[in-house]
Structure 1
């Protein structure tokens, strides 16, 4: 059962002004490797799961940016925490 929805927009700084899309792709690969449910949207990615697990995924994403050579990273994060249960479908089903 998931108790959280976490949306993240990761904005890595690049050394020489390179395109950040390959970095963002690598960040999304970190989410995929974690095995959590997620949806990619144009300006952010939303994950569904247990809050502690999702925060660990965010940490891994930031470390991945460091491994790729990014000297700094801005991570804009939104969290919806509902202890008894929350899913992406709970919030979006009426729009589908």
Structure 2
């Protein structure tokens, strides 16, 4: 079982003040390629896995956004770390229909 939930909202600066959505899409692509469980929400994406693995994904996201042309990236990150195990499903099951 995973020991960490990490929620991230990337806020990429765009070179020309344009739309940031293509950069957000690129960040989500990095997550998709990582093979961890994740859920995309309106304002952030939550990942489930091992702490060290998730932090490496955040690093790859930042690297990908810079490579895509963003001059800088701010991320707001929330981490819930439970060595005994944690899951998105368990935390939210009582709210699901």
Q: TM tier, shorter chain?
A: over 0.9
Aligned residue number for residue 24 of structure 2: 24
Figure out how many residues of one structure are paired with residues of the other and give that number.
96
CA–CA distance in structure 2, aligned partners of residues 25 and 70 of structure 1: 13
CA–CA distance in structure 2, aligned partners of residues 25 and 66 of structure 1: 13
Aligned residue number for residue 66 of structure 2: 66
Ranges in structure 1 where 5+ consecutive residues have no aligned partner: none
- Counterpart secondary structure, 1:86: coil
What TM-score does the superposition give when structure 2 sets the normalisation length? Answer: 0.97
Ranges in structure 2 where 5+ consecutive residues have no aligned partner: none
Deviating above 2 A after TM superposition, structure 1's stretches of 4 or more consecutive aligned residues are none
Aligned residue number for residue 51 of structure 1: 51
Aligned residue number for residue 77 of structure 1: 77
What TM-score does the superposition give when structure 1 sets the normalisation length? Answer: 0.98
